[in-house]
Structure 1
Amino acid sequence: MKYLLRYREILLVVIIAVLLAAFSTRSPGFARPANLSNIFNDTSILIILALGQMAVILTKSIDLSVAANVAFTGMAVAMLNAAYPGLPLIVILAAALGIGAVLGALNGILVWKLNIPSIVVTLGTLTIYRGMAFVLSGGGWVNAHQMTEPFLQTPRQIFLGLPLLGWTAILIVAAMYLVMSRTLLGRAIYASGGNPAAAVYAGIDVGRTRFLAFTISGTLAGLCGYLWVSRYAVAYVDIAAGFELDSVAACVIGGISTLGGIGSVAGAVLGSLFLGVIKNALPVINISPFSQMAISGAVIIAAVVFNARQERRRGRIILRDRGASEQIEGVT
């Protein structure tokens, strides 16, 4: 048990397995491969958003504008597709990634150059981006009949038993794992949140690293803007409402510390899957929407308490020892 408590990822795998077994007693088909594939597909957008949020939280920041980014980018690419139906899908994807990256970079610049707390910046841009989506669309909707078949159907194409939407999430997970564990940027992200002073001593530009983390988050949110609109075949101002909190919740449940420097890609993915299982299972067992919200809130609070207890121990904070040793050498 101590081993499970120490490694959040293993504990989450066990909890998810127990939940699947428990819900299967009420709904026998719940744990069937086809349904599990549907749950993963339903959770794919949240997984991608949570990975972007993870990069920001690891730098001891937060991005509350991700869902608004999804809304604006989704509306923009839907209107682009409706206005220019002959435009290749690759161009629309590039536009989605570019718009998302610009919105994320704007957050990063405000945090980096003006030294404004990230929660203040992204709370403001959350409203701004939603307002931009309203101004762009005039409050109207873009419906399925206005979009082209390639735009709508590409993420739904089945490959090896899983829609391309799910495979996109898998590719993003693999890419983020490589970035966070095998690149200088990944190490800088952990260091900037874990011990900013030591990171500076090691030659890391903490402000620039946070800027890049916000840009990553924005880029992934832009991708989710297209994926959301194509999956649900509609674009409107309030799409993805509340998903900024879901992305934070997935990270917290996955063991990513809001104090920065501690967490993993696997944790963010498993936290998202945990929420996905809960949200898919509660309606099946006739739990009311209000009770679902209460249960989700209780789970988040429990995860925060658990994280606080775990952070008393030695966490994964890169360069802490190096920074401490350099400070000792400076004193002597």
Structure 2
Amino acid sequence: MKSLFKHREIWLGLAIVAVILAVTLRFPRFSEPSNLLTVFNDTSILMMLALGQMAVILTRCIDLSMASNLALTGMIVAMANAAFPFIPVPLLILGCVVVGAALGAFNGLLVWKLNIPAIVVTLGTLTIFRGLVFVISGGAWVNAAQMSPDFIQLQRSVFLGLPVLSWFAIVVAALVYVLMTRTPLGRAFYAIGVNPTAAVYTGIDVGKTKFYAFVLAGAISGLAGYLWISRYVIASVEVASGYELNIIAACVIGGVSIAGGIGTVGGALLGALFLGVVNNALPVIGVSPFWQMAISGAAILLAVVLNARGERSKGRVILRGA
């Protein structure tokens, strides 16, 4: 039982339940199944993005451009739908994934071939991708009146009691779980995060593995581009501005180590869900947006402290006092 509670997922699950129960004491309807499903649906995009970021962080890198990738692919698919409404939505979604993966590959190539630190690369591409949104749109917005009904309604449809948006998150989580736990590439992500030098001696190409991590993050960002635009029915330069901080926060709170090599799919999902529950609960109890930001920041700092303590290796005692 004691070893069970060493897992971050257990504590996160209990924290989520505690927040729900605390809010329910004042507003009983908050814990109704329909409302909890709405919270899950609202957090679905963040969950998917956190999984992409987790893959990158496991390799001792970070991707600050995921939100800008989302905005750029979202603008491209919105403009394509407005100009050619006859294009099937599944084909548009596939295009988003391909474009997002290409943008992620651009990041990965710079990190791999030029050996530039990932934080520098993605800080630059964050601005480049966001600037391209303005360039291709001319600063104009694409709104609901310009989008086709099928484009807007797909992720709002309900299947087996859940909106399709939630099913997107479930399918992506299942695929990433299989990738991380059942494939050589997933094991390579962990290996180079734990010890990149030792990974080389086992035959792992560190640079190429990092490249694949960025491609995965980019593909998920591209998919999220369509989902975000079709959900909020607006495409503009400001879409998901600053959202990269939420993505990283979800990973850190979920126990993904910034130092690399440590993290689970379940932890990243619960970290995102924790933020989703908190962000939905605080307005209900009348907490101002400023305090919401402060509480989220405090949660991130606490998670970093817990991660650091958990990763600290215990030295072997060779001398003891009398």
TM-score normalised by the chain length of structure 2: 0.96
Assess if the C-alpha contact under 8 Å between 1:58 and 1:261 holds in 2: yes
CA distance in 2, matches of 1:238, 1:278: 24
Once the two structures are superposed, the pairs formed by residues 65-144 of structure 1 within 5 Å of their partners are: 65-144=65-144
Q: How far 1:126 sits from its partner (Å)?
A: 0.2
Q: Distance in 2 between matches of 1:78 and 1:124?
A: 24
**C-alpha offsets along residues 11-46 of structure 1, whole Å, 9 cap, x if unaligned?**
111111111100111211111100000000000000
- Give, in whole Å, the separation in 1 of the partners of 2:45 and 2:241: 13
Tell me, what secondary structure is at the counterpart of 1:30?
A: helix
CA distance in structure 2 between the partners assigned to 1:117 and 1:79 by the alignment: 33
TM-fit CA distance, 1:5: 4.8
Partner in structure 1 of residue 284 of structure 2: 284
> Which blocks of at least 5 consecutive residues in structure 2 are unaligned?
315-322
User: 1:230-265: per-residue Cα shift (whole Å, max 9, x none)?
Assistant: 001111111111211111100000000000000100
Question: What is aligned with 2:317?
Answer: none
- Residue type of the partner of 1:158? V
In the other structure, the counterpart of 2:275 is 275
CA distance in 2, matches of 1:288, 1:19: 17
In 2, Cα distance between the equivalents of 1:232 and 1:251? Answer: 24
How far off its partner does 1:4 sit?
5.5
Aligned partner of 1:312 in structure 2 is 312
Q: Distance in 1 between the 2:242 and 2:31 partners?
A: 27
Secondary structure in 1 aligned to 2:29?
Answer: coil
**2:231 aligns to what?**
231
Shift of 1:161: 1.4
Runs of 4+ in 1 over 2 A off after TM superposition: 1-5
- CA RMSD after TM alignment: 1.0
Query: Contact 1:194–1:260 at 8 Å: present in 2 too?
Result: yes
Secondary structure of the structure 1 residue equivalent to 2:203: coil
CA distance in 2, matches of 1:204, 1:58: 15
- The residue number in structure 2 matching 1:215 is 215
CA deviations over 1:275-315 (Å, ceiling 9, x no partner):
0000000000110011100000000000000000000148x
Residues 201-249 of structure 1: per-residue CA shift (max 9 Å, x gap): 0000000000000000000000000000000111111111121111110
Distance of 2:267 and 2:76 partners within structure 1: 32
- Tell me, yes or no, if the aligned pair for 1:4 and 1:11 is still in contact at 8 Å: no
Q: Partner letter of residue 236 of structure 1? A: S
Q: Which amino acid in structure 1 is aligned with residue 104 of structure 2?
A: G
Q: Describe the superposition over 1:90-120 as per-residue Cα deviations: whole angstroms up to 9, x where unpaired.
A: 2201110011001000000000111010000
Return the alpha-carbon distance in structure 1 between the equivalents of residues 234 and 71 of structure 2: 11
What is the aligned partner in structure 1 of residue 190 from structure 2?
A: 190
Residue in 2 that maps onto 1:55: 55
Q: Which residue of 1 aligns with 2:23?
A: 23
Identical amino acids, percent of aligned pairs: 61
Cα deviation, 1:305-326, whole Å, max 9, x if unaligned, reads: 0000000148xxxxxxxxxxxx
Query: Deviation of residue 3 (structure 1)?
Result: 3.5
Q: TM-score, normalised by structure 1?
A: 0.93
For residues 229 and 63 of structure 1, what CA distance do their matches in structure 2 show?
A: 21
Match of 1:293 in 2: 293
- Cα distance 1:223–1:154, how it changes in 2: closer, same or farther (>3 A)? same
Distance 1:4 1:186 in 2: 24
Tell me, in whole angstroms, the C-alpha distance in 1 between the residues paired with 2:42 and 2:49: 13
3-state SS of 2:30 partner = coil
The residue identity in structure 2 corresponding to 1:277 is V
- Describe the SS at the equivalent of 1:278: helix
Out of 3-12 and 298-307, give the one that drifted further. Answer: 3-12
Q: Which residue does 1:40 correspond to in 2? A: 40
Separation in structure 1 between the aligned mates of residue 5 and residue 122 of structure 2, nearest angstrom: 33
Q: For 2:6 and 2:216, how far apart are their aligned partners in 1?
A: 29
Q: Distance in 2 between matches of 1:72 and 1:306?
A: 35
SS in 1 for 2:241: coil
Give the equivalent residue in structure 2 for 1:173: 173
- State the alpha-carbon separation in 2 of the partners of residues 200 and 8 from structure 1: 30
2:64 aligned residue: 64
Which position in structure 2 is the counterpart of 1:11?
11
The whole-number CA distance in structure 2 between the counterparts of 1:291 and 1:112 is 40
Q: Any stretches of 5+ residues in structure 1 without a counterpart?
A: 315-332
Contact 1:64 1:123 in 2 (8 A): yes
